[in-house]
Structure 1
């Protein structure tokens, strides 16, 4: 290993220069840095919306690297094969990357690290996607946490890593390896006509993410706790979009929230708790990886959930006949995101009133959300369904109408997304018909359908199913 042999920085979900431990280490080594993004099977398996949004993030990050005199190399193929080829082409003796925690990436990274080590490469992974590594947070008995509240108490007073500056330049290699053209990958192909509708709602790149954080702290953090559940109010940070691609670090959010808390801003602690909820999701995914694909709790495999069916298509189309549920689904098609409380309502209606398996909803969100996150999506769906951590099935059969009366009292949210509720619908509601799949053949004049499942009937059926489960 010499000062002239490059470090290959394997870029994944860390599309930023600031607060990036692996990049900081590479720059501090004094060696040339070659940033590489690999389109492997993990990337190829992404749903339409997250794959498209990832491509936009990569485009922005490549420009960011060019601005400091560097570049982002794009390669396609199995990660290990690509990295071996790059080692041979560049003479690199070190390959470093930012750590990920979901089971598919953990399995890939372990295999890559072992194989590169056999080649004599310095293969390392660095923290950066989380505030706390999952194995560093333990109960008094040395076990992992399975309930959020004690997890929060265990981490809320811990020291969080200091912020790291963005480098002003990266040392160049003597020769750049060849790169694919990002556009040739067609990462946005699956979005079809929906891309033009969703694009104006995105905040792409590191600069946009930090602007978003600054606006939230300045304008909304004070009312975050009391107002965040109101569906028509724009008081949430929106930073889930940027966090999932690493365009901003959780460390940046934590320090901003902590500063607001120290300044006496009333919603700051709740904002920090939501950030730690994300940590808890990754804590569980790391320690119990089956949460991403199977029931987390024992005894749920025999529960009488249904799989895909005709009624599920109506749920996907935002035509269940339950206004707030349908409004939320249409918000997702127009913006690529969905209000957090609305996510709970659509998930509860699908898994409880419709008795449809949570995996059906999990998979659809993974297809449609630009802020899709493997840990948060898995834990969120299982939490609502009752099969996951902190679950209390009998007390989480949300009544969507009651929730709408409480959190959308003047129907502003519902009217914003349901064209059928107005004689002169707003543009937001009409855009749904431009974004949804053509094959659905939906039109604003179709009218509101009768409910797939009446709320009272669905609740009775769900409670009966839970009682039968507990007796079995």
Structure 2
């Protein structure tokens, strides 16, 4: 077995450096067959993340080409595909990097058990997180439910330095046949939006590393003060790269530590935000229901509204609240949304419109190119008030007040809401090209009146919360 072929099953680890599985494979000297599988779990991705994943796979395939390896693409249930490739290559084992969402855990557990039962080596590796979700425990041996004590426990832990990209990997003598990526049509559901969103993506490991370097050379200095201002280039914008594993989280963490040691003022705040990502995975591991139902069961009787005409206007970016609409339109034009804007858009849907957070969670899962299962779930439950470490449930963000505070000059709103300018810019107009034609939106039409008076909406939300069972 010491020289038998290894199948390296890639998923959300599409990079060469800071790649524990790849480093171990290189160190073993064994011949490898790199594989990416379009299985039912991956097929279930929303339109935007599935399209963006296709870009990541294409970039990674090119990177492997540089090492003399061909990424084998196969479609079908993971276990069936892996068994077939094992037979075709006489492989002795299958390795992969761990994922933590409930669907992936169920799939990977079944795959590992079946492969081991067949006498094959089946090994999973860390790599998507700084620490495995079960490694950080409270003093009593449980899991953390609140971020601040989690952060205090985590910030003092050592993080292993990232491995360099391997300079050589041994290819198997024969590479099995595979599909053509274009035949998968991963961007089909994006329709005309793909070409508009594409210029806003930074695809691949080299682009991600350049983005990190640019952030640490400039914006990190004022990150703590400016990260909430959506019109300012004040954040790292690495979320899309981290979700597909185009850059390793340990590489980002150590770069942040160096920036902090160099006296860059915002670096500590940046590290804290990386810890929020870890915390979301910590919670998803220990309480997987966070992805599908109220994290706090006492919210199960709350009178959330189901889908409704006002929620459709929210989806369309036509609520009449410029900050909310700018947030939604940013997502359709760029594929992402500023974090402060996500909070405002989420609060408006769940509180001013009293619409179930699950509707927003599912919509973001379809539209965000940086969609992350843990972060999306925790973010929506946090803003709705029913989740872990939530702000007081009675906190209702006022979109107008938030705009005054975080977009005082109106630059963000004008950037994406064409109706607010006499001469709207290209991104504001691109919104009307990106959205479904069935919405019938016209940049020359007048901007809509607000769906709800903000004070009345807040009062209605507070009244509903007052009747909630403790």
TM-score over 0.5 (shorter chain): yes
Q: Which residue of 1 aligns with 2:356?
A: 357
Query: Whole-Å Cα distance in 1 between the matches of residues 417 and 171 of structure 2?
Result: 53
Q: Aligned-pair distance for 1:168? A: 1.3
Per-residue displacement from partner, 1:293-336 (whole Å, max 9, x unpaired)? Answer: 01001211110101111111100000001110001100100000
Q: Aligned-pair distance for 1:201? A: 0.4
Q: Which residue of 1 aligns with 2:270?
A: 271
Aligned pair count reads 470
Query: Whole-Å Cα distance in 1 between the matches of residues 395 and 114 of structure 2?
Result: 47
Q: Which residue of 1 aligns with 2:428?
A: 429
Per-residue displacement from partner, 1:430-467 (whole Å, max 9, x unpaired)? Answer: 01011011111100111111111211111000001111
1:57-206 to 2 correspondences below 5 Å: 57-206=56-205
The RMSD of aligned alpha carbons is 0.8
Per-residue displacement from partner, 1:267-288 (whole Å, max 9, x unpaired)? Answer: 0000000000000000000000
Q: Which residue of 1 aligns with 2:32?
A: 33
Contact 1:320 1:326 in 2 (8 A): yes
SS at structure 2 position matched to 1:8: strand
SS at structure 1 position matched to 2:36: strand
Query: Whole-Å Cα distance in 1 between the matches of residues 89 and 393 of structure 2?
Result: 59
SS at structure 2 position matched to 1:366: helix
Query: Whole-Å Cα distance in 2 between the matches of residues 460 and 27 of structure 1?
Result: 61
SS at structure 2 position matched to 1:355: coil
Contact 1:147 1:390 in 2 (8 A): yes
Moved more, 343-352 or 63-72: 63-72
SS at structure 1 position matched to 2:72: strand
Q: Which residue of 1 aligns with 2:415?
A: 416
Q: Which residue of 2 aligns with 1:298?
A: 297
Q: Which residue of 2 aligns with 1:44?
A: 43
1:248-397 to 2 correspondences below 5 Å: 248-397=247-396
Contact 2:20 2:125 in 1 (8 A): yes
Change (3 A) 1:377 1:394: closer
Q: Which residue of 2 aligns with 1:441?
A: 440
Superposition TM-score, scaled by structure 2 size? 0.99
Q: Which residue of 2 aligns with 1:457?
A: 456
Q: Aligned-pair distance for 1:240? A: 0.2
Query: Whole-Å Cα distance in 1 between the matches of residues 135 and 339 of structure 2?
Result: 28
Query: Whole-Å Cα distance in 2 between the matches of residues 140 and 393 of structure 1?
Result: 26
Q: Aligned-pair distance for 1:393? A: 3.7
Query: Whole-Å Cα distance in 2 between the matches of residues 453 and 350 of structure 1?
Result: 11
Q: Which residue of 2 aligns with 1:15?
A: 14
Superposition TM-score, scaled by structure 1 size? 0.99
Query: Whole-Å Cα distance in 1 between the matches of residues 415 and 279 of structure 2?
Result: 33
Query: Whole-Å Cα distance in 2 between the matches of residues 438 and 340 of structure 1?
Result: 28
Contact 1:70 1:169 in 2 (8 A): no
SS at structure 1 position matched to 2:359: helix
Per-residue displacement from partner, 1:223-255 (whole Å, max 9, x unpaired)? Answer: 100111112101110000100000001101100
Query: Whole-Å Cα distance in 1 between the matches of residues 312 and 134 of structure 2?
Result: 41
5+ residue gaps, structure 1, are none
Structure 1: 4+ residue segments shifted above 2 A: 392-396
Q: Aligned-pair distance for 1:394? A: 4.2
